[in-house]
Structure 1
Amino acid sequence: MRTTQEDINPKMRAFLVDWLVYVALTFRLPADTLHLAVSYVDRFLTANVISQDKLQLLGVTALIVAAKYEDGIFVHEVRRYRNVAANTYTRQQVVKMESDILKSLNFEMGSPTARTFLRRYITVCRGRDRAKAKRLEFLCSYLAELSLLDYDCIKFNPSVVAAACLFLARFTISPTARPWNLTLQRNTKYKVSDLKSCILMIRKLQLNGTYPGLKGEAIKVKYNDREVRCAFPSFLAFACVLFF
């Protein structure tokens, strides 16, 4: 986000991302589309200054662009997306914003996200226990979406965010076992020391269940499952695996 943004701050961005989770859930869009849309928003805000009243327009249009990129067959009607924004914006405004986004991104639409790397990392952890593998994938997806809420997370490469989510998911499932090993280190190219800052940031989101001060609960609704509602392991157990 450009430091010259006068009307937009990280909390406003968090509100927008939470709302985009709701919209993506409403239209049953895959998680990859959501992550891609948020990356478009951040890349656009890095290069362009916009007013607060245009932030939702940017978000919903970024979601349309990402949906079109991910699924070129399904028709994504602007009208349907305008409805979820209470018809605040005209069709012409959405089309104009779509053009602005494409130009700002120089039509480079396929940038990798944390989801891109998570798919590859998770395959390394899949064992014979299908239930455990499914839970691991579920928690990784949940943590990755929580990471979208915090603007500070974009300072980390998507591969780092993905590895940090995997670390935390494995720790949550088996707090008495080491969540990182040489196999994961070789496949991700990261040591735990490389991930520490990102792990701590996502851990705070995990404990809060959302971004600080954010009342939106779209992610909680989407991941309303006992694996998320359960009490997380103690800080002492977490500190032992991360710092020692």
Structure 2
Amino acid sequence: MSSSSSSSTNQSNENPIPRPNRSKTRAPPLGDVVNRRNPLGDITNQKTGSRISAPSSTLVHCSNKISQSKKATKPPKPIAKSNLLVPYEDIELRNALGEDEVDDIDSDLVDPQLCGVFASDIFQHLRSSEVKKRPAFDYMERVQSNINASMRTILIDWLVEVAEEYRLLPETLYLAVNCLDRYLSGNVITKQNLQLLGLLEMESSVLNYLKFELTTPTAKCFLRRFLRAAQGKTEVPSILFESLACYLSELSLLDYAMLRYAPSLVAASAVFLAQYILHPSRKPWSSTLEHYTSYRAKHLEACVKNLLQLCHESPLSDVVAVRKKYSQDKYKFAAKKFCPNSLPQELFL
């Protein structure tokens, strides 16, 4: 959604993105959309600037999977009530951390991309902003009567495939999922129209409902900083570690139950679990990570265990995009890394 919205400004006058007929009050049937020659229009590749078209077969396949999905779904996972709200840093946390115990990852003033002078203030702003544009974590039960979490998973899995096919920036995927969930938090939708949330046909409806407020901190925003804090400015960045944390974070997008956790909490938990998977003999959380994430290990327990559960769950045969993506060499086969069956309780003390 956000990718198609942003890409529309980059199109030339010779080949504009098809726009819906504003005189119509409802979106056309999905069959009419997927049978068009260019259902997604020309989407701009954000890395190369080239334009490519989406094959309609992928849209039809996604539509068929959604339509075949049953309304009945497995019981929801128990909600960890202590994590429904963002456990912001308490005063004791900073007081407990001596300055000599924390690596200063913002002291590099050579690289302007790191914004070392303002990084701490920017992060604090993101932490306060992430709660303002979060979707409801119970909208499936409270708002939606025609769709379920499995249908949402199929749609997001397809969005992952589209983002990978078009080489879109990771932020585009995370923002798209955020917009989708925020829209579904207040608008009843039918099974037949669910996939339209990923197309231009519903762009106007979505943008107006969200009041054009599309930007919000996502787990990906926090993940970069947390990875830097975990590796330190002196260590050589590990592509496998970064890929594994990204894989865990992206898996969380598929699971409706993960909406209960703040994006920063998901990012911190992904780093925690990635650390433990790669180095089980080391302590996965440090005073430096506490300082820069504002989370203690005990804050992460429920979310980390849910991420581990996602790694071990047998995915639906129709939901393979994330695992397929991170099973590639360029991501160091992160999805194929061995994951422990359980975690020692002392890790969270």
Q: TM-score, normalised on structure 2? A: 0.56
Q: Is 1:218 aligned to 2:325, yes or no?
A: no
Mark the runs of 5 or more structure 2 residues left unpaired by the alignment: 1-138
Structure 1's 241 and 22: CA in aligned 2 closer, same or farther, altered over 3 A?
farther
The AA in structure 1 aligned to 2:187 is: N
Q: Which of residues 152, 159, 163 in structure 2 aligns to 1:24?
A: 163
Give me the whole-angstrom Cα distance separating, in 1, the residues matched to 2:212 and 2:255.
Answer: 26
> Which one of 214, 228, 236 corresponds to residue 130 of structure 1?
236
- TM-align CA RMSD: 1.8
Aligned residues: 205
Tell me, yes or no, if the aligned pair for 1:175 and 1:233 is still in contact at 8 Å.
no
- 1:9 counterpart residue number: 148
User: Judging changes above 3 Å, is the alpha-carbon distance between structure 1 residues 156 and 230 closer, same or farther for their aligned structure 2 residues?
Assistant: closer
2:169 is aligned with what amino acid? P
Where does residue 48 of structure 1 map in the other structure? Answer: 187
CA distance in 2, matches of 1:121, 1:209: 29
2:268 matches 1:163: yes
Partner of 1:228: 335
Partner of 2:178: 39
Matches of 1:200 and 1:112 in 2, distance apart? 23
Change (3 A) 1:192 1:119: same
Residue 234 of structure 1 and its aligned partner are, at CA, apart by 4.8
* Gap change, CA 1:30 and 1:241, over 3 Å in 2: farther
SS at 2:185 equivalent: helix
Alignment of 1:66-105 (within 5 A): 94-95=200-201, 97-105=202-210
1:106 deviates by 1.1
Q: Is the 8 A contact 1:13 1:151 kept in 2?
A: yes
Instruction: Flag the structure with higher helix content.
Output: 1
1:54-79 superposed Cα distances (whole Å, 9 cap, x missing partner)? 11110x23xxxxxxxxxxxxxxxxxx
Three-state SS of the structure 1 residue aligned to 2:211 is: coil
Distance 1:39-1:147 versus aligned 2 partners, 3 A rule: same
Code of the aligned partner of 1:229: K
Q: Give the C-alpha shift of residue 15 in structure 1.
A: 0.9
Partner of 1:144: 249
Q: How far does the alpha carbon of each residue in 1:76-101 deviate from its partner, in whole angstroms, 9 at most, with x for none?
A: xxxxxxxxxxxxxxxxxx34x10111
Structure 1 SS opposite 2:177: helix
Query: In structure 2, what residue type is equivalent to 1:217?
Result: V
Question: Matched residues in 1 for 2:294 and 2:302: separation?
Answer: 16
1:142-194 CA-partner distances (Å, limit 9, x unpaired) = 01110001111111110001001010111111011110011101110011111
In structure 2, the residue matched to 1:154 is: 259
| Secondary structure of the structure 2 residue equivalent to 1:111 | coil
Deviations 1:113-164 (A, max 9, x none): 1001001111112244536x22111111101110001111111110001001
Identity, % of aligned positions: 39
State which drifts further: 192-201 or 39-48: 192-201
Q: Is the 8 A contact 1:21 1:218 kept in 2?
A: yes
User: Which whole-Å CA distance do the structure 2 matches of 1:242 and 1:57 have between them?
Assistant: 43
- TM-score, normalised by the number of residues in structure 1: 0.78
Deviates more, 1:23-32 or 1:155-164: 23-32
Q: Counterpart amino acid of 2:143?
A: T
Amino acid at match of 1:218: A
